[in-house]
Amino acid sequence: MTIGDVKEILHARFICGEDQKDREIHSACGSDMMSDVLAFVKDQAVLLTGLCNPQVIRTAEMIDLYCIVFIRGKKPTQEMIDMAEDRDIAILCTDHRMFNACGMLYDNGLRGGTPY
């Protein structure tokens, strides 16, 4: 699956990183707690979250995430967009809720990776 596929499945819109739409995504994580993402997520490629602050971008950078999807219509600040662009992290926004968005990706073959 690619970032472009994630966009289509979630009826999302690119905020930045549209040039990365062909980048391969192999797994996903849905969380609003960045401490859990840092502690438990391994080899993830896309993060779905409703937490909308610069810490999300910093967390994504630390664990080499390719893409962040903000759910429930959340919109990042310009500071966050600039940070993501500097780090080659694509940002998407969708109006779906976390449970539905994760389920839609799962139904289309994207898994959560290996546990712990």
* Bridge partners of residue 93, in order along the sequence: 13, 70
Q: What is the pLDDT of residues 62-113, one digit of tens each?
A: 988 989 999 999 999 999 999 999 999 999 999 999 999 999 999 999 987 6
DSSP-assigned letters across all residues of 9-53: HTT-EEEE-GGGTT-B--BEEE-S-HHHHHHH--S--EEEES--S
Q: What is the pLDDT of residues 100-110, one digit of tens each?
A: 999 999 999 99
Second CATH level (architecture) for the domain 3-107 = 3-Layer(aba) Sandwich (3.40)
Please name the amino acid found at residue 22.
D
What are the structural domain ranges in the chain?
3-107
Query: Does the predicted model carry a pTM greater than 0.95?
Result: no
